[in-house]
Structure 1
Amino acid sequence: MTTDVTGSLAGKVALVAGGTRGASRAIAVELGRRGAFVYVTGRTSGQRRSEVDRPETIEGTVARITAAGGRGEAVRVDHLDPEQVRGLAERIDAEQGRLDILVDGVWGGDMHLEWGKPVWEHSLEASLRIIRLGIDAHIVTSHHLLPLVIRQPGGLVVDMTDGTAEYNAEFRKGTSLAFYVAKAAAHHLALAQAYELGPHGCTAVAMTPGWLRSEAMLDIFGVTEENWRDAIKEEPYFAISESPVYVGRAVAALAADPDHKRFSGQTLNSGQLAQIYGFTDVDGSRPDGWRYVVEVQDRGGPPDTSGYR
Structure 2
Amino acid sequence: MNDGWNPPGLGGSVAVVTGASRGVGRGIALALGEAGATVYVTGRSTRGGERTESLPGTVDETADEVTARGGKGIAVRCDHRDPADNAALYERIAADHGRLDLLVNNAWGGYERSAEVPFDAPYWKQPMWRYELFEGSLRAQYDVTRHLTPLMLPLERALIVGISFSDGDIYLGQVGYDVFKTASDRMCKGFAHDLRKSKVTALSLHPGFVRTERVEAAWDALGSGPAAVVHTPEYVGRAVASLLADPAVAEWNGQVVSTGDLAVHYDFEDVDGKRPPAFRLEGRMTLATRMDRLNRVVAAAHASGAQQSR
| Interval of TM-score (by shorter of Structure 1 and Structure 2) | 0.7 to 0.9
**Partner in structure 2 of residue 307 of structure 1:** none
Q: 1:18 maps to what in 2?
A: 19
CA distance in 2, matches of 1:171, 1:250: 26
Alignment deviations for residues 199-222 of structure 1 (CA, whole Å, 9 cap, x no partner): 111100111110010111111111
5 Å-filtered alignment, 1:44-55, equals: 44-55=45-56
Q: Which amino acid aligns with 2:197?
A: P
Q: Which amino acid aligns with 1:184?
A: T
Tell me, yes or no, if the aligned pair for 2:109 and 2:133 is still in contact at 8 Å: no
- Paired with 1:115 and 1:126, the residues of 2 have a C-alpha distance of 9
Q: Check if 1:298 corresponds to 2:283.
A: yes
Shift of 1:168: 4.3
Structure 1 residue runs of 4 or more that deviate by more than 4 Å after TM superposition = none
List alignment gaps of at least 5 residues for structure 2.
Answer: 286-310
Hey, what does 2:249 align to over in structure 1? 260
Counterparts of 1:159 and 1:50 in 2: how far apart (Å)?
A: 23
Note the C-alpha offset of 1:6: 4.9
Match of 1:73, SS state, is: strand
Measured at CA, do residues 31 and 53 of structure 1 come closer, stay the same or move farther in structure 2, by a change above 3 Å? same
Distance in 1, Cα, partners of 2:27 & 2:36: 14
2:199 corresponds to which of 193, 198, 201: 201
Given that 1:168 and 1:184 are in contact with CA atoms closer than 8 Å, whether structure 2 keeps it comes out as: no
Secondary structure of the equivalent of 1:40?
strand
Q: Which residue of 2 aligns with 1:78?
A: 79
Residue 10 of structure 1 aligns to a residue whose secondary structure is coil
The 5 Å alignment of 1:86-235 reads 86-113=87-114, 114-133=118-137, 135-163=138-166, 167-173=167-173, 176-222=174-220, 230-232=224-226
| % same residue | 35
Question: Contact 2:42–2:77 at 8 Å: present in 1 too?
Answer: yes
**RMSD of aligned residue pairs (Cα, Å):** 2.0
Q: CA deviation at 1:67?
A: 2.0
Q: Distance in 2 between matches of 1:272 and 1:289?
A: 6
Superposed CA deviations along residues 228-281 of structure 1, whole A, max 9, x for unmatched, are 99525xxxxx22111111111111111111110000101111100000010001
Q: 1:243 aligns with which of 222, 232, 250?
A: 232
Distance 1:52 1:144 in 2: 28
Looking at structure 2, the residues matched to 243 and 55 of structure 1 have their Cα atoms a distance apart, in angstroms, of 16
From 285, 288, 292, the equivalent of 2:274 is 285
Question: Normalised by the size of structure 2, how large is the TM-score?
Answer: 0.85
- Write the distance in 2 (CA, Å) between the matches of 1:109 and 1:83: 21
C-alpha displacement of 1:16: 0.5
Cα 1:22/1:10, change in 2 over 3 Å: same
Q: For the residues of structure 2 that align with 1:64 and 1:183, how far apart are their CA atoms?
A: 30
Q: Deviations over 1:108-163 (max 9, x none)?
A: 22124432212210111222122212x11111111211111112121100011123
Aligned length: 278
Task: Provide the residue aligned with 1:272 in structure 2.
Answer: 261
